Structure 1
Amino acid sequence: MQQVDKDEIDVAEVFRNIGLFFNSIKKRIQYVFDVVLSHKLMIIGITALGLGVGYLTYSLTKPYYTSSMTLMLANIRNEFIEDQLNKLSTMIGEGNYEVVADRLDISQASAQQIKEMKFSNLDQDRIEEDSVLTGSPFRIELSLYNRELFESMEPALTNYLENNRYFAKQKRIKQRQVESMISKLKGEISSIDSMKTNVGSPRGPVNGFVYGQPIDPTNLYKESILMYKEQVELEADLENLDNVEIVTGFVPKLLPTGPSLKRHLAIGVGLGFIVGVIVALNLAKKRRKLLS
């Protein structure tokens, strides 16, 4: 029985302490509210000063323009592209514009107009965690101080990615293979065309056999067409050897993306009000010490 009474007393003590804690918080809030009311003119003045500072910082902040483009990869792991873009983004963030200009093959003045660069894989959420993302489209978001540079930044970024030593080597190997096949097909088609000419317009005695087999003009025409189709397909592949292709380019921007006037004013007002309250609390504290 005594143990039960002791437990009841302990619980009552806990609730009493909780009540005292919230009561003290309530008193502190009431005290701050009273101080704000008694120094409201000063706080309003400091808040207005913060508003002015916010507008001043907005006026001094250089406007920038943000746009994005979407690129499609060949059969390349996206992490390779991410590594290249991450290095470029790091150089931009560090203000290493001389190297950025060299890598993108643009002037240093143009490189200095780059504020920020971000990139993301569009299919990142569609694959399993242990899978490798390959040949997926990705987006590059670029912020520039000069909106007229967006057009020149498209080829600059794609060439930067294409000029990767590994990618360039693989592209040259595949290009030589395709060109060799096209050259061979052209020779074969030319040979068949000569045979078709001889069969259609023979000069001199013709026995109707080639290497012991009878000549069938129909088969010659079919073989010629098949080879020509293969040649056309290879020539199309030759035109599409780039490892990176632009799907949608940067959209020209007329209005700046930032800075935001509302955001600057809101921050200025908020900071001004906080500073005003802190000053008012300090004044009230000093006054209480003098009175005591």
Structure 2
Amino acid sequence: MSYKERTPVENNSSLDEIDLSKIFISIGRGIVRFFKSIFRFFFLYLDTLISKTKIILALVLAGIILGIAYFYAFKPFYESRMTLNSAYYRGEFLDNSIQNLNRLCSENNYRVLANLLKIEPEKAKTLRKIQVEQIISPNMQMLIDLYKSTKGNQRRIDSLILNHSDSTFQIMVQVYDTTTLVGLDTILVNYIKNNKFVNKRIAIERKNLLNRKAKLIRESKNLDTLKSYMAKSYLPQGPGKTGTNVTLNDKQSNPIDVYREDFRLYDLQLQIDRLLFINSEIEIIDRFITFGKPASGTIEKNAVKGALIGLLAGLLYVFYIILREGLRRFRLIIDED
């Protein structure tokens, strides 16, 4: 009785072992077939590539010719960048002003462009593109990267970019003639400064600076009077008396604090004088630099790009031939069935 009961269990365990071995064998055969098919396709592709060498070389040569033709068919253009700082402009105002110029360039509306920039129409025709981008300070970039590393902070990132107070910008221009870059930085700055909104802000800011400077001068004069009284207090006023403190309305004043305040007011006056002197509503940090090599690429670069495109076209052609032959054989198999 016990033998009959154990026999089915032993048979089931042996069947399970046989089934698992078959599964592992099937997996191994599948992996082998997969790698064999990869190697078969690789050697088939290599063989087809060798057999079509002449066609591929012809495509590469055609790409070189087209690259050289592109260089002579289109005018080469040169690119340069100018960095400036503005105490009054913010991103949206400067971006709108430059976008209007760039749109006129793309529309070939050189008459209006020359009128806005106050330059000759011939010089305006050499302008290809004008763009502006705001330079984010390293500290601001670090905050943005920090928020990017955490999910759900997209609103904070947008708020930082929208409300950050960085006022450094970079203007990129593309020109067909490098002589156009001479004086172009001053021309663009004058165009930006002619904005009525900015002019009002500049006038208000300069008036506020002048009023603040006048107030600082008055306060400095009052401190000079106070310092003279303090100096007199150090002189002996009677037998056995020497002054070390000044008493004003029964309150003692520390001479060191008074002199420190005088130096602080003096520093503020220097800062205001600096702002008024350098006229820093728009300050050029780096001017346009003329580069010898065009940004559109030299004839050698265009030839290399054309050769690479021709080579890519040849490789895709070989792949198309293999795919077409495979589909043809697949149709024959279906027809035979």
TM-score relative to the length of structure 2: 0.58
Change (3 A) 1:233 1:35: closer
Does the Cα contact within 8 Å between 2:88 and 2:202 map onto a contact in 1?
no
1:7-39: per-residue Cα shift (whole Å, max 9, x none)? 554454445334433322322221221122123
Change (3 A) 1:67 1:281: closer
Does the Cα contact within 8 Å between 1:76 and 1:135 map onto a contact in 2?
no
Distance 2:320 2:136 in 1: 55
Distance 1:108 1:3 in 2: 89
Q: In the alignment, does 2:171 pair up with 1:143?
A: no
SS state of the match for residue 143, structure 1? strand
SS state of the match for residue 94, structure 2? helix
Does the Cα contact within 8 Å between 2:136 and 2:166 map onto a contact in 1?
no
1:141-165: per-residue Cα shift (whole Å, max 9, x none)? 2221111111232122212322233
In the TM superposition, what are the counterparts of 1:29-178 in structure 2 within 5 Å? 29-74=42-87, 76-93=89-106, 95-127=108-140, 128-129=143-144, 130-131=159-160, 132-176=163-207
From 23, 33, 36, the equivalent of 1:20 is 33
Please, which runs of 5 or more residues in structure 1 have no aligned partner? 185-229
Amino acid in the other structure paired with 2:195:
N
Change (3 A) 1:269 1:231: closer
Distance 2:62 2:125 in 1: 33
The structure having more radius of gyration, on CA atoms, is 2
Amino acid in the other structure paired with 2:199:
A
Distance 2:73 2:102 in 1: 25
Query: Number of aligned pairs?
Result: 246
TM-score relative to the length of structure 1: 0.65
Does the Cα contact within 8 Å between 2:88 and 2:198 map onto a contact in 1?
no
Please, which runs of 5 or more residues in structure 2 have no aligned partner? 1-12, 145-158, 216-267, 333-337
Alpha-carbon shift at residue 56 of structure 1 (Å): 1.9
SS state of the match for residue 251, structure 1? coil
Amino acid in the other structure paired with 1:140:
I
Share of identical aligned residues, percent?
21
Distance 1:78 1:65 in 2: 25
Distance 1:5 1:90 in 2: 76
Distance 2:109 2:137 in 1: 30
